Amino acid sequence: MLLKQSFPNKHNNRNDQSNDTLSAPSEQAVHKKRELEVIAKETLRQVIDMMDDTFFLDKMDTIQKDHFLRQINHTVDVVLTEFDKHLSQSDKHKIVKDLSDEILGFGPINPLIHDPTVTEIMVNGYDQIFVERDGKITKTDVCFRDNAHVIHTIDKIITPLGRRIDESSPMVDARLPDGSRVNAIIPPLAVKGPILTIRKFAADPFTSEDLISFGTMTREVAQFLRASVRARVNILVSGGTGSGKTTTLNVLSSFIPDMERIVTIEDAAELQLRQEHVVTLESRPANIEGKGQITIRDLVINSLRMRPDRIVIGEVRGGEALDMLQAMNTGHDGSISTLHANNPRDALARLETMVLMAGMDLPLRAIREQVSSAVDLIIQQSRLNDGSRKIVKVAEVVGMEGDIITMQDIFVYNQTGVDDKGLITGKHTPTGIIPKCIEKMKEYGERINIEIFEEKFNEPSPRRF
């Protein structure tokens, strides 16, 4: 036994040599990474020292940015000379790109922000970054240096908006310059480090034709929704997180005639309306003293004094539901909003609950009468298992029967199966019921062929967004 311990056999020697061979490249890679980080850090320090108070990154044009990148390149050469180091052209290019992203953009996630295939960026920690592509979530090899680097990036996003994040206010909602929605939460609420979530929106907003090509809805559904919006029908878009509610809300808002005055109300302005006469309002959190908060409800009340033709609320989630319903019932018809719910019936129940959150001690029947007279259509949106988004139901609120709000489905999406690629197959079909709001459409001169409520349609394209 002692001999065996003192003199390992040749197979063990071979394994040890193999392990040494495997560990050597990894150690070299770690050493090289640290070396590049040191050079990048020193370059960043010198570049920042060159910048003075008259240097405004957000006001630089293309020529100035090109000149600035050349300065970074030159500074890298200076630092390499100081450190007596030589780097390959690819390593040097990587340092310049990382520094330009850090100074001109939002650090390591800057390429992901500009990647048109990425729809969501989720930073679960400085070394864990996930993205969503085509409805599927995958982990990336991108990472921050440490938690402080993540917080620095968050500050860079929210500071121009007049928002702050610290231990006394560890949560914040914001937006990127392109309208992408940003949420950040830091310790002590986020136990393992700062968390950053970015919901991206297309630079060129999706149109109804895009949603038809994606299979989100059919041309007949789009025709009905377009006529509904132009006929000033009150619409709620219901669905879960990431189901495409905001995208559908954007498309519905695009149907509003150009001459009408539109007031949009959101927590973080992200709607992309192309009409000329648009007023955008955004809520505001309390300041460091706990004062100055402006809620969605405050903005809804104020918007009624702004002579709106349409009120578009990004999402209803509290007491503002009561003021929205009153607006719909007092001449501000044609309003559109979204809320979280699993189906149209649940959407009405949530609406009742949110009205009670306004602090008004109203009887349930009175609330339901308000809801049934205010809301005309509910569009139910879902994200299916294959990552595709579909309008799975278009339901009309008919009225009251006793104490119950009655509804009828106009269009439904019927899933038929899954194809060889794992994509869900199905089709939108009408229920055969002619909606009651068809009479209102006629009053506004919107002509719609009632045969679309009876015919069977072809299966939509399986493309996804």
- 353-367 pLDDT per residue, tens: 999 998 888 899 999
Strands (E), 305-403: 310-313, 336-340, 377-383, 389-401
Q: How many CA atoms lie within 13 A of 265 on its CB side?
A: 30
Residues of the chain with pLDDT under 50: 1-14, 17-23, 53-54, 457-465
Chain-centre distance for alpha carbon 144: 22
For residue 11, what pLDDT is reported? 46
What strands, in cross-sheet order, belong to the sheet with 235-239?
278-282, 262-266, 310-313, 336-340, 235-239, 377-383, 389-401, 404-418, 424-430
Distances (CA, A) of 272 to 120, 161, 294, 369, 433: 18, 18, 22, 33, 33
For residue 462, what pLDDT is reported? 44
For residue 231, what pLDDT is reported? 94
Task: Find the distance separating the first CA and the last CA of the chain, reported in whole Å.
Answer: 66
Burial of 198 (0-12, 13-18, 19+ CB in 10 A): buried
| Other beta carbons within 10 Å of 32 | 12
Q: How far apart (Å, rounded) are the C-alpha atoms in residues 294 and 297?
A: 8
- Bridge partners of 294, per DSSP, are 284
**Residues contacting residue 78 through CB under 8 Å, at least 6 positions apart:** 46
**Residues contacting residue 297 through CB under 8 Å, at least 6 positions apart:** 318, 319, 320, 323, 358
- Bridge partners of 397, per DSSP, are 407
Q: How far apart (Å, rounded) are the C-alpha atoms in residues 309 and 327?
A: 11
Per-residue pLDDT of 280-339, as tens digits, reads 998 888 777 778 889 999 999 999 899 999 999 989 988 899 999 988 988 888 999 999
